[in-house]
């Protein structure tokens, strides 16, 4: 049985060899590029038809398909990563997390934004002072229930 880490290595090599993009793989699987990248990097799973489309697009085998369909384990043993781009998302949460929480609670009440019923879009915004990254996150509000 192929481990998720091995699967990721095989997929990244095939993606590089084919000179393809997450955008193209998203179109091939009918999934958002961020969603397909998450599955390929091992933090999400695919349905059989989605895994079929991906392995076909990258000319990979059944072992990769099976690994793509297995449920991942998320966040075990993680610490704040040192990769500068990923670290910035942590920094945003550290600096603005409590502020965002206050505003969300004020607007919606006591609850959370779902990361299950969730989408993220990344856009490039051209600016004469330097291009900007636009990250749009949208999640269903889930109120805490009382019992």
**How deeply is 124 buried, as exposed, middle or buried, from its count of CB atoms within 10 A (0-12, 13-18, 19+)?**
exposed
CA distance 19 to 104: 41
DSSP state of 71: P
45 is catalytic: no
DSSP state of 81: -
Candidate list 23, 48, 62, 88, residue with the active-site label: 88
Candidate list 48, 91, 102, 138, residue with the active-site label: 91
Residue 104, H or E segment: helix 84-108
Residue 125, H or E segment: strand 111-125
82 is catalytic: no
88 is catalytic: yes
| Residue 2 near residue 63 (C-beta atoms within 8 A) | yes
Cβ-Cβ contacts under 8 Å for 10 (sequence gap 6 or more): 2, 60, 64
Candidate list 5, 102, 114, 132, residue with the active-site label: 114
Catalytic residues: 88, 91, 114
């Amino acid at each position: 049985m192929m481990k998720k880490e091995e699967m990721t290595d095989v997929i990244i090599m095939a993606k590089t060899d084919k000179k393809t993009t997450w955008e193209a793989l998203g179109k091939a699987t009918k999934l958002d590029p961020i969603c397909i990248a998450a599955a390929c990097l091992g933090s999400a799973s695919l349905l059989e038809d989605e895994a079929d489309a991906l392995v076909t697009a990258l000319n990979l085998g059944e072992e990769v398909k099976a690994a793509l369909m297995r449920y991942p384990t998320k966040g075990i043993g993680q610490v704040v990563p040192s990769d500068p781009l990923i670290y910035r998302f942590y920094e945003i949460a550290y600096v603005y997390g409590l502020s965002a929480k206050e505003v969300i609670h004020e607007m919606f009440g006591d609850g959370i934004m779902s990361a299950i019923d969730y989408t993220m879009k990344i856009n490039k915004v051209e600016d004469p002072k330097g291009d900007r990254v636009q990250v749009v996150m949208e999640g269903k509000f889930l109120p805490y229930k009382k019992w």
